[in-house]
Amino acid sequence: MKSTLTFAETEFNRTEALVQKGTLSVSTLDDRRRELQSGQANLRGAEASLARAKLDMEYTTIFAPLSGRIDRRLISVGNLVQADQTALTTIVSLDPIDFYFDVDERRVLNYARVAREHGSNLQEGGGSLDVFVTIADSTEKPFKGKLDFAENRVDQETGTMRVRARFDNPNLVLQPGLFGRVEVSASNTYKGILVPDEAIGSDQDQRVVYVVAEDGSFTTKPVRLGPTLYGYRVIREGMTGDETIVVNGLTRLRPGVIVDPQLVVLPPEAATAENGQ
């Protein structure tokens, strides 16, 4: 900026001397005067901008919008920065920490129904719906949180809705970017029928259990399966709970075979490989 002004001053002085000698016209001198005045104005504007920037710098304090862990600095001294555009660094919130996941339409309707029963709605956080997340570290127990947000519509392309659960993380075990397996209670407490997985057979495209009658004969009964709970399989439909079913020896069952059932009381929680039993 100063070099441009110096050049304009030199050109003006040279032109002024030549005009006095009659070598150049007065209009050329006017052009050089205009260039000189423009350079002076530009310099004064630049000096004013510099003074304003120094004043702003004196009153500038950078505050983090949230508490958490800060990353490395993304710029160094001497880098050009622009207000509201240049990122200085990144900060992630750790405690509490949010977990986002997608649910399909059927589960969205289930969650919304349970939320209404709790006097809330899904977009307001789903009432008191508990969310459990299990991470890759098998030594860590599932973390318990609360569903606190859901988007306002179902994505038409994927048929899913994104929801969010919030978890307390005082020990900072959960880290941003981790993946986990999510479990959400999609219904209120109710009495259900639980049977061992080995008691469930297949009949073409159906899942069946083998019900033993008083005379030792057996019949197949189609059932609709649910999730695994306490090491057993939840039966959603097809049983009343007072049936006697075959648990062991399904491969030996043939039409016309009479079964001599040995009644066994199953433990409240089945032994599984996960709990080391």
What digits encode the pLDDT tens for the residues 36-71?
788 888 888 888 888 888 888 788 787 777 777 888
Q: Structural domains in the chain?
A: 2-58 (no CATH), 97-184 (2.40.30.170), 191-277 (2.40.420.20)
What digits encode the pLDDT tens for the residues 84-128?
788 888 888 888 888 888 888 877 777 777 777 666 666 555 556
- Rg value, the chain, Cα: 38
User: Is there a contact between 88 and 74 (Cβ–Cβ < 8 Å)?
Assistant: yes
Determine the distance from the C-alpha atom of residue 256 to the mean position of all C-alpha atoms in its chain, rounded to a whole number.
Answer: 56
The pLDDT-based confidence of 276 (bands split at 50, 70, 90) is: very low
For residue 126, the tally of other CB atoms under 10 A from its CB is 27
- pTM exceeds 0.85 for this model: no
HEC per residue, 129-185: CEEEEEECCCCCCCEEEEEEEECCCCCCCCCEEEEEEEECCCCCCCCCCCCEEEEEC
What digits encode the pLDDT tens for the residues 121-159?
665 555 567 788 888 877 788 888 888 877 778 888 888
For tokens 């609360």, name the residue.
Answer: 146
CA angle 231, 233, 238 (to 5 degrees): 160
The DSSP letter of residue 102 is E
